[in-house]
Amino acid sequence: MPLFRYILMRMDDEFKVPPKPWTGASIKALRDEIVRGGEEVPGLSYQTVYVWYSRVLLDVVDRLGRVDYVGIIGEQPEISFRVKTVDTLRDKLIRQDSTPLYRIHDIIGARVTASMTLQQQNDLVQAIAALFPKHQISDMREHPHSGYRGVHVIAGLPRGIFAEIQIRTLPQDAWANCYEAIADRYGREIRYGEYPDSPKGRELVQAIQGTSDGIRSLELLDSEQGIAVGDILDNVTKMMRHLTEYYHAPNPQELEKIIKIANNTGSLMLKLGGEHGRNGNPVQPEDR
């Protein structure tokens, strides 16, 4: 049965995007002002831009609701969505200093997370991509970005804007959330290939990146070779969630313990992968 059978409704050819509430000059001026630390220029504020993007996001989320998730992965996923805050947008505009504000790919974004194999993840990515006539697929599972693994569908929408839909397995999602919590403590630069100045912080970041390699090995065993590793993946997911909660209120005295847990878990998973002819992929820090 064709994969597109899983899409319940035929999407309209034209995505409904309301007229932009800005001119070329005003959005450029707002971009420059946001980089300087502000969020408003004469005739345009980021609050206005935020509300406009929120309206577009509702249509994106509506389309995501048209997928027969149970038919593809056997369950309903968790779907979350958001518009970038001005602070997180500022960080990205500073890094991408020549990109117009409205060309940022993830000002609006959604995330689809579920318990699924890598093959089911592939099928789900194709079903979601088919909702948008213009799209690109960014697969960061084989070549991770600072340890991050997942698949992103970049949907090109009318009026020259974009939406980003992230599709993650539960272990991929738990790892990403844990890494974000650590970035809140040691600096968001670790998401882009840098490391903390502190030796212990650097050791922690490297250990968590190694855990990502272990998760990759287990998911390959589960998906490609049918080796039953579901219980191990569940335990790894729980561990990453525990570390995430812990790092929201960190205790420096416990840092050694966290590093040891992460290193031991990563080593055990890589060992299991090696026993069955699979090794994790080396971390390749890149911007994401």
Do 161 and 176 lie in a common domain?
no
Cα 257 to chain centroid distance, Å, stands at 27
Helix or strand or coil: residue 91? helix
The enclosing H or E element of 231 equals helix 230-247
**Considering 169, 184, 203, which residue would you say is the last residue of a domain?**
169
How far is the C-alpha of 180 from the C-alpha of 186, rounded, in Å? 10
Residue pLDDT, tens place only, 225-234: 666 677 778 8
* CA atoms within 13 A of residue 215's CA, in its CB half-sphere: 34
Number of domains in the chain: 2
- Under the banding of pLDDT at 50, 70 and 90, the label for residue 235 is confident
Domain that holds residue 221: 171-275
Does residue 140 form part of some domain? yes
Q: Which of 130-134, 168-172, 279-283 bottoms out in mean pLDDT, i.e. has the lowest?
A: 279-283
* Mean pLDDT on 138-154: 96
Of 108, 140, 169, the position where a domain reaches its end is: 169
In this structure, are 240 and 164 located in the same domain?
no
* Contact between residue 153 and residue 167 where contact means Cβ atoms under 8 Å apart: yes
Domain shared by 16 and 98, yes or no: yes
Is 95 contained in some domain?
Answer: yes
DSSP label at residue 269 = H
Q: Are residues 251 and 268 in the same domain?
A: yes
Q: Which of 149, 169, 189 is the last residue of a domain?
A: 169
How high does pLDDT run on average in the chain? 85
Nearest to 65 by CA among 119, 26, 25, 8: 8
Q: Within a domain: residue 280?
A: no
Q: How many CA atoms lie within 13 A of 219 on its CB side?
A: 27
User: Is residue 288 predicted with pLDDT exceeding 50?
Assistant: no
Report angle CA 177, 96, 174 to the nearest 5 degrees.
10
Q: What pLDDT score was predicted for residue 74?
A: 97
DSSP 41: E
| pLDDT tens-place string over residues 61-72 | 999 999 999 999
How far apart (Å, rounded) are the C-alpha atoms in residues 215 and 266? 8
In this structure, are residues 60 and 111 in contact, taking their beta carbons and an 8 Å threshold?
A: no
Q: pTM for this structure?
A: 0.82
The string of pLDDT tens digits covering residues 79-107 is 999 999 999 999 999 999 889 999 999 99
User: Per-residue pLDDT for 267 more than 90?
Assistant: no
Lowest mean pLDDT among 72-76, 161-165, 256-260: 256-260
Q: Residues 6 or more apart from 218 whose CB is under 8 A from it?
A: 171, 229, 232, 233, 236, 269, 272, 273
